[in-house]
Amino acid sequence: MPTSAAAVVLALGALFGVAWISRAAPRPQDWAFGAAMLAWLLCLCSSLVLQHLPGHAAAAALARLGCQWLLLASALLLLLQCHSSWPRGRIGMLCWLAFALAGSALALAPDAPALHRLAAAAGLWPLQLWLGLNVLGALVVALLLVRELRRRPQAMRWMALLITICGLGMLLSDWETSRQQPWAASGQHFLFALALFAYWLASRFRMREPVPSGWMHRDELAQELHDGVGSQLVSILSSLDASSPAQRRTAQALQSCLIELKLLVDGMEADCSLMSHLASLRYRMDPLLAAAHIRMEWLVTNEDSLSHVRGDAAKHVLRLTQEALANVINHSKARTVTVLCRHRLEIDSLLLCVADDGRGIRPGRRGSLGKGLPGMRRRAQLLGGRLSIESGPQGGTVIQLLVPMARLRAGPAAPD
């Protein structure tokens, strides 16, 4: 193993770096990395005790426990940094907690009689049960990272996959040596912790890239729009006379502008998902629909595959949905509108449907709806999808968008 004192100093330095760099706005990734360094420090200190007191059972158990939590926190850091939805979901966190409990139990008590019997039945040494569980966990993390890479290749995701493969190699090496000697932290563990430190630093400095001169930071711009333009629109709306038909129309136009501004501010978060965009749209459109006495049925399923639709593709779907709802409010005289969005697994496509029970669109009136319908068709074309607009003889309009998920993952085409 490298000089133990130097390794301890590195772990303490990493912890100090986490506290200093993340003092203003800590992220979940920073907490995960801090936990990983604390676990690594426990592993190092216990290994130092083992060097002076070989065979000390408590020190050996704590060293394994430190290594276990180093691996657990590392997996959490890599998946969070790569925007995987798995650790943020309830099922994902329950699986992580169950794995943490099982791994910690095996690390602390590999010589328990029940584990001896289980290992003998499987033809393994007791310590190999613990290592085997972690090998399985590393494979699962690698598969999740490969899935994220297929959706959107990025340098940080490739780095995360490389670190995971290094960790897998470290565990397999421990597996080979576990028959001849007790487990102990080695140079490979030191290099793994060092690679994790470099990865965390890269993620922090990537966030702090300088903004080009003349550009506002996204959060500052959003706040300025909200406090400046938004406040002015609200003031104008409150000064209009509701008894005047002309001013009512002006108020309706200003209200639409205010909704547009709020959606713009809501969507300024980097890499915002489709589910976040649609949730914001629902919240912002509810007052307009209520004012028009239109009831909305919201049938948007919170699916993992839809949460990974991000960037320009998500914004095109948002704008198309917004335009469809605006047409319902302004032209349909409907009582009910239904918004449906889901992943059709049988054809691996996103289905968006906005249906109302209004008066429908007569063939001769489509040109009177301004640029709304052509704009929707253009967005569908950029997404590589198919848009259909149908009205029945008894009224009602159904706007349906169908886009292959592969096209959404690749991103929209550039406009001509």
Q: Residue-wise pLDDT tens for the chain (416 aa)?
A: 444 555 555 555 555 555 555 555 567 888 888 888 888 888 878 877 877 787 777 888 888 888 888 899 899 888 888 866 666 667 778 888 888 898 888 887 766 666 666 656 666 666 777 788 889 999 999 998 888 887 777 788 888 999 999 888 888 888 777 666 777 777 788 788 888 888 888 887 765 444 444 444 455 555 555 555 555 555 665 666 667 777 667 766 666 676 666 666 555 555 678 888 888 888 878 887 887 889 999 998 767 788 888 888 888 898 899 888 888 887 888 899 999 999 998 999 999 999 999 888 766 555 545 556 788 888 899 999 999 998 877 788 999 999 998 888 776 665 55
Sheet holding 349-356: strands in order across? 295-300, 336-344, 349-356, 395-404, 386-392
Q: What separation in angstroms does the CA of 22 have from each of 71, 89, 207, 270, 370?
A: 22, 24, 12, 19, 50
CA–CA separation, 318 vs 227, rounded Å?
24
- pLDDT, residue 245, reads 73
Residue 76: which H helix or E strand, with range?
helix 57-81
Q: Does 127 share its domain with 236? A: no
Q: In this structure, are residues 397 and 372 in contact, taking their beta carbons and an 8 Å threshold? A: no
SS3 category, 336: strand
Q: Does 241 share its domain with 151? A: no
Residue 212 domain-assigned?
no
CA–CA separation, 197 vs 32, rounded Å?
12
Q: In this structure, are residues 80 and 87 in contact, taking their beta carbons and an 8 Å threshold? A: yes
Residue 312 domain-assigned?
yes
Residue 415 domain-assigned?
no
Q: Does 250 share its domain with 278? A: no
Residue 191 domain-assigned?
yes
Q: Does 197 share its domain with 294? A: no
Q: Does 156 share its domain with 262? A: no
Residue 247 is part of which domain span? 218-270
Q: In this structure, are residues 350 and 343 in contact, taking their beta carbons and an 8 Å threshold? A: yes
CA–CA separation, 416 vs 414, rounded Å?
6
CA–CA separation, 84 vs 149, rounded Å?
10
Structural domain count of the chain? 3
Q: Does 183 share its domain with 303? A: no
384: Cβ–Cβ under 8 A, 6 or more apart, which residues? 403, 404, 407, 412, 413
Residue 114 domain-assigned?
yes
Q: Does 192 share its domain with 319? A: no
Q: What separation in angstroms does the CA of 58 have from each of 49, 55, 63, 101?
A: 10, 9, 9, 18
pTM for the full model? Answer: 0.51
